[in-house]
């Protein structure tokens, strides 16, 4: 087995490696370090968590140990897609270069320009930066890239996803043609392939794993979720997430929950805290100091659950992450590999569970096509409530509901009573009405109407009608009455 002592590294670097507790290099390190020490360009393709950072940091320190930096002209440049990844590279540099007198500067957003300018003015051997902040310093005239000897592009495929490729191409054009380029990526999209063909010269290709493969130490599962109503999807989905965490129980030492949208990151974190879970959010809109504080808490174990956007899918090196929960299926299948790669690192076992709603099924198919395996389906831990089941049975039952029967009986009882009383009253008053009937007919012969209010005289001959107009009211105009008088006269 290859050891670090076989790689021709600087003795002071080997001492730092030994103090860090490492003895044998990972496959990507064993393949990339010898070529990098020879000054050749390197194209490294390996899945996340395989030790790519040390594969370019160690040879860089060895080569830069001979020489001295000049003001505003860094000797090497490391480009990272996110602040967190850049900060992690800086930490690794401090670990491996602690016995070598080399200086570094970290250029990321959310930090004062004044402090960064002061570090650049003193001269740095290693400049670690995100593309946007690097170009900001260059355009302000505070930085020259003509002294770059070694240039590293880390997580190039993530650069592509975040739209940094035009910035990368511009930065390449600002560096010397004679530079050494170390290019690392987890996948090789066509655009990444084009850049490597343009800016790398006869690179040593080191490909450790099949593109977009997942670690065999990660147990993967998916829960197919369908909300009862569209407006309840968010709350019901968060409930399923809580039940999944509860099912895992003590096995959840710490976990990362990934969401596709920043707004969902905040909502899920707030919901978990409301129900007593130790959780905190992290995404690109948060202040850098808050992001750093949250990550530090997650690394040292004071924070158990980290709710994150894809800003934390790359470069977050916490070896003991036990679980990854995908609150959403990622829109890009490659992001699934990087998300679940936060667990099962360095040979440890891990578990990744994904929630999939009906609209995410196409994205899930793309993920399964990329990793070339079918992800195990799990039952939804949230069972339908008895109330919902009873409602469904009631809707399909042919029998009337008890409440409706009782109301019908009551209504019938009330409706039957008045007719009986009315009938009795009619029977008692019948002789009297029989006596009064001829008299009423004599006094008001035209008032002969039925119970509905309609006149019984409709359809009779005109000679049977009396002089009074029925149904017109007291406000009848005089000219209308005149027409009836003319008709009677004729």
Q: Which of these, 424, 428, 427, 470, lies nearest to 446 by C-alpha position?
A: 470
- 3-state SS of 370-397 is HHCCCCEEECCCCCCCHHHHHHHHHHHC
Gap between the Cα atoms of 152 and 93, Å rounded: 13
Judgement on whether residues 471 and 369 belong to the same structural domain of the protein: no
Question: Which pLDDT does position 2 carry in this prediction?
Answer: 80
Give the integer Cα–Cα distance in Å for 135 and 139.
Answer: 6
32 and 127, same domain (yes or no): yes
The answer as to whether 403 is a domain residue is no
Among residues 418, 341, 337, 398, the alpha carbon closest in space to that of 372 is found at 337
Among residues 160, 182, 207, the one where a domain terminates is 207
Based on the fold, state whether residues 9 and 104 are members of the same structural domain.
yes
The reply to whether 110 and 238 lie within a common domain is: no
The angle subtended at Cα 351 by Cα 249 and Cα 235, nearest 5°, is: 65
- Note whether 85 and 143 are same-domain residues: yes
21 vs 30: CA distance, rounded Å: 17
Phi-psi region of 69 (alpha: psi -120 to 50; beta: other; left: phi over 0): beta
Do both 197 and 239 map to the same domain? no
228 shares its domain with 304? yes
Kind of pairing between the strands at 104-107 and 126-129: parallel
| pLDDT by residue, tens only, the chain of 490 residues | 588 989 999 999 999 999 988 888 989 999 999 999 999 999 999 876 678 899 999 999 999 988 777 888 999 999 998 888 898 899 999 999 999 989 999 999 888 898 899 989 988 999 999 999 999 999 999 899 999 999 999 988 888 877 899 999 999 999 999 999 999 987 788 888 999 999 999 999 998 866 567 778 899 999 999 998 989 999 999 999 999 999 999 999 999 999 999 899 999 999 999 999 999 999 877 887 888 889 889 988 899 999 998 765 565 677 789 999 999 999 888 788 888 888 887 678 899 999 999 999 999 999 999 888 899 999 999 876 555 444 444 444 444 444 444 444 444 444 444 444 444 444 444 444 444 444 444 444 444 444 444 444 444 444 455 555 555 556 666 666 666 555 565 5
Phi, psi (rounded to 5 degrees) for 94: -60, -40
408 belongs to a structural domain: no
490: containing domain: 446-490
Domain containing residue 186: CATH number: 3.40.50.300
The answer to whether residue 471 sits within a structural domain is yes
> What pLDDT does residue 287 have?
82
Contact partners, residue 164, CB within 8 Å, separation at least 6: 81, 131, 132
Q: How far apart are CA 25 and CA 208, in angstroms?
A: 13
Let me know if residue 212 belongs to a domain: no
**The last residue of a domain, from among 366, 387, 408:** 387
In the chain, the number of structural domains is 3
What is the 3 state secondary structure string of the chain? CCCHHHCCCCHHHHHHHHHHCCCCCCHHHHHHHHHHHCCCCEEEECCCCCCHHHHHHHHHHHHHCCCCCECCECCEEEECCCHHHHHHHHHHHHHHCCCCCCCEEEECCCCCHHHHHHHHHHCCCEEEECHHHHHHHHHCCCCCCCCCCEEEECCHHHHHHCCCHHHHHHHHHHCCCCCEEEEEECCCCHHHHHHHHHHCCCCEEEECCCCCCCCCCEEEEEEECCCCCHHHHHHHHHHHHHHHHHHHHHHCCCEEEECCCHHHHHHHHHHHHHCCCCEEEECCCCCHHHHHHHHHHHHHCCCCEEEECHHHCCCCCCCCCCEEEECCCCCCHHHHHHHHCCCCHHHCCEEEEEEECHHHHHHHHHHHHHHCCCCEEECCCCCCCHHHHHHHHHHHCCCCCHHHHHHHHHHHHHHHHHHHHHHHHHHHHHHHHHHHHHHHHHHCHHHCECCCCCECCCCCCHHHCCCCCCCCCCCCCHHHHHHHHHHHHC
Are 193 and 270 members of one domain? no
Whether residues 158 and 268 share a domain: the answer is no
Contact at 8 Å (CB) between 366 and 212?
Answer: no
Q: State whether 203 and 222 are in the same domain.
A: no
* One domain for residues 241 and 314: yes
In which residue are the tokens 């090196």 written?
317
Q: Tell me, yes or no, whether 375 lies in a domain.
A: yes
Among 163, 186, 207, give the residue marking a domain's end: 207
346 and 463 assigned to the same domain = no
């Amino acid at each position: 087995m290859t050891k670090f002592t076989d790689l021709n590294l600087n003795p002071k670097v080997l001492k730092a490696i030994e103090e860090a507790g490492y003895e044998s290099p990972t496959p990507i390190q064993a393949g990339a370090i010898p070529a990098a020490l020879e000054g050749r360009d390197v194209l490294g393709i390996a899945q996340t968590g395989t030790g790519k950072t040390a594969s370019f940091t160690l040879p860089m320190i060895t080569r830069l140990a001979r020489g001295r930096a000049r003001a505003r002209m860094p000797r090497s440049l490391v480009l990272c897609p996110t602040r967190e990844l850049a900060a992690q590279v800086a930490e690794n540099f401090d670990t491996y270069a602690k016995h070598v007198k080399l200086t570094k500067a970290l250029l990321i957003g959310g930090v004062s320009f004044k402090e960064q300018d002061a570090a650049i003015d003193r001269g740095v051997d290693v400049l670690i930066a995100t593309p946007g902040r690097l170009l900001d310093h260059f355009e302000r005239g505070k930085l020259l890239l003509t002294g770059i000897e070694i240039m590293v592009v880390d997580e190039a495929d993530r650069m592509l996803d975040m739209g940094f490729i035009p910035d990368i191409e511009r930065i390449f054009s600002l560096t010397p043609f004679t530079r050494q380029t170390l290019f690392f990526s987890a996948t090789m999209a066509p655009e990444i392939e084009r850049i490597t063909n343009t800016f790398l010269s006869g690179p040593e290709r080191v490909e450790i794993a099949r593109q977009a493969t997942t670690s065999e130490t990660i147990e993967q599962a998916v829960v197919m979720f369908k909300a009862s109503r569209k407006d309840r999807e968010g709350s019901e989905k968060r409930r399923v997430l809580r039940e999944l965490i509860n099912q895992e129980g003590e096995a959840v030492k710490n976990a990362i929950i990934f969401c596709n949208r920043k707004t969902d990151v905040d909502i899920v974190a707030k919901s978990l805290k409301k129900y007593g879970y130790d959780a905190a959010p992290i995404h690109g809109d948060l202040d850098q100091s808050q992001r750093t504080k949250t990550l530090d808490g997650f690394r040292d174990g004071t924070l158990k659950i980290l709710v994150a956007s894809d800003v934390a899918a790359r470069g977050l090196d916490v070896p003991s992450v036990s679980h990854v929960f995908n609150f959403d299926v990622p829109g890009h299948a490659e992001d699934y590999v990087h998300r679940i790669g936060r667990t099962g690192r360095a040979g440890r076992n891990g578990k990744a569970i994904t929630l999939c709603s009906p609209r995410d099924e196409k994205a899930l198919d793309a993920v399964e096509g990329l990793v070339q395996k079918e992800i195990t389906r799990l039952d939804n831990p949230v069972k339908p409530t008895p109330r919902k089941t009873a409602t469904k049975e009631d809707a399909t039952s042919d029998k009337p509901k008890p409440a409706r029967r009782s109301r019908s009986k009551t209504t019938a009882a009330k409706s039957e009573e008045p007719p009986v009383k009315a009938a009795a009253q009619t029977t008692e008053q019948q002789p009297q009405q029989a006596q009064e009937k001829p008299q009423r007919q004599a006094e008001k012969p035209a008032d002969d109407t039925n119970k509905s209010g309609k006149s019984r005289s409709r359809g009779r001959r005109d000679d049977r009608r009396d002089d009074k107009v029925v149904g017109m009211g007291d406000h009848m105009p005089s000219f209308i009455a005149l027409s009836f008088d003319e008709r009677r006269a004729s």
